[in-house]
């Protein structure tokens, strides 16, 4: 995708959704960290259902530790991999208290040192909570980067690095949300909805249709 197409691509996404937001529900940076940690291999809808109950009783590292492993698992057992996620979450809470005065750190290195927090999770926190121009490449963004020609790459890291280089700076703060939402609802894996795509004219996907097959 050429620079002029990239500019037009993001201008169209911005016009369609001027203030994109994560679909995870949270009221603090700590709640965001918990929600993102729980969202691995789970839908935002399922995470939100669980965290509504969880945050009502434990919305700080101290309160979450007080639940204990069994108590925490009882609140998140509807989420996939909840045993491992509960262990990681309690370990993370302890580290936040011991090393960061109970606060979520603002650097990638400190975030990725927390149990269960990988590069993608750290990028979400840096972008959503702290406004950093970070790009969390999930399955939607990886697919979209390759399919559209926006940022082809064989690995999530390669796509991430290409996106950060190619996206105009003024769009970087919101680009993560635009791409995830576009991949989730329009540029879907099996049947991309090209007939309702605001950026189809700038996309390099060659097999797209322009009419609703229904």
Catalytic residue among 49, 120, 174, 211: 120
- Separation of alpha carbons 125 and 30, rounded Å: 10
Q: What angle in degrees, to the nearest 10, is found between the helix axes of 139-148 and 156-166?
A: 60
Q: Is 98 a catalytic residue?
A: no
Do the domain assignments include residue 182?
yes
Domain of residue 113 covers 29-129
Name the region of 131 (left: φ>0; alpha: ψ -120 to 50; beta: rest): left
Do the domain assignments include residue 38?
yes
Do the domain assignments include residue 142?
no
The count of structural domains within the chain is: 2
Residue 161 vs residues 41, 50, 131, 144: alpha-carbon distances, Å: 23, 33, 18, 14
Residue in this structure with the two tokens 């390099």, named with its chain if needed: 204
Catalytic residue among 44, 77, 138, 154: 138
Residue 10 sits in the same domain as residue 49: no
Residue 117 sits in the same domain as residue 185: no
Do the domain assignments include residue 70?
yes
Residue 41 sits in the same domain as residue 9: no
- Section 180-190 average pLDDT: 90
Q: Enter the tokens of residue 181.
A: 């939402």
Confidence of residue 165 (pLDDT cuts 50, 70, 90): very high
Q: Is 138 a catalytic residue?
A: yes
- Section 97-110 average pLDDT: 96
Do the domain assignments include residue 105?
yes
Asked if pLDDT for residue 41 goes beyond 90, the answer is no
- CATH number for the domain harbouring residue 51: 1.10.340.30
Confidence of residue 204 (pLDDT cuts 50, 70, 90): confident
Residue 12 sits in the same domain as residue 42: no
- CATH number for the domain harbouring residue 160: 1.10.1670.10
Do the domain assignments include residue 212?
no
Residue 54 sits in the same domain as residue 99: yes
pLDDT at residue 53, as a whole number: 95
Residue 35 sits in the same domain as residue 80: yes
Its pTM surpasses 0.85: yes
């Amino acid at each position: 995708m050429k620079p002029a197409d990239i500019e037009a691509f993001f201008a169209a996404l911005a016009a369609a959704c001027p203030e994109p937001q994560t679909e995870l529900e949270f009221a603090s940076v700590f709640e965001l960290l918990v929600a993102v940690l729980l969202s691995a291999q789970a839908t935002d809808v399922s995470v939100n259902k669980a965290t509504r109950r969880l945050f009502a009783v434990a919305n700080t590292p101290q309160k979450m530790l007080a639940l204990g492993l069994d108590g925490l698992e009882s609140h998140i057992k509807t989420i996939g991999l909840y045993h491992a996620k509960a262990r990681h979450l309690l370990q993370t809470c302890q580290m936040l208290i011991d090393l960061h005065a109970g606060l979520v750190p603002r650097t990638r290195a400190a975030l990725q040192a927390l149990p269960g927090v990988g590069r993608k999770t750290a990028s979400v926190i840096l972008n959503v909570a702290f406004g950093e121009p970070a790009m969390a490449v999930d399955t939607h963004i990886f697919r979209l980067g390759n399919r559209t020609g926006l940022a082809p790459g064989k690995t999530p890291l390669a796509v991430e690095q290409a996106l950060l280089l190619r996206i105009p700076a003024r769009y970087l703060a919101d680009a993560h949300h635009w791409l995830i939402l576009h991949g989730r609802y329009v540029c879907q894996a099996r049947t991309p909805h090209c007939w309702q795509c605001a950026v189809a004219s700038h996309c390099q996907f060659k097999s797209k249709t322009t009419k609703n097959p229904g």
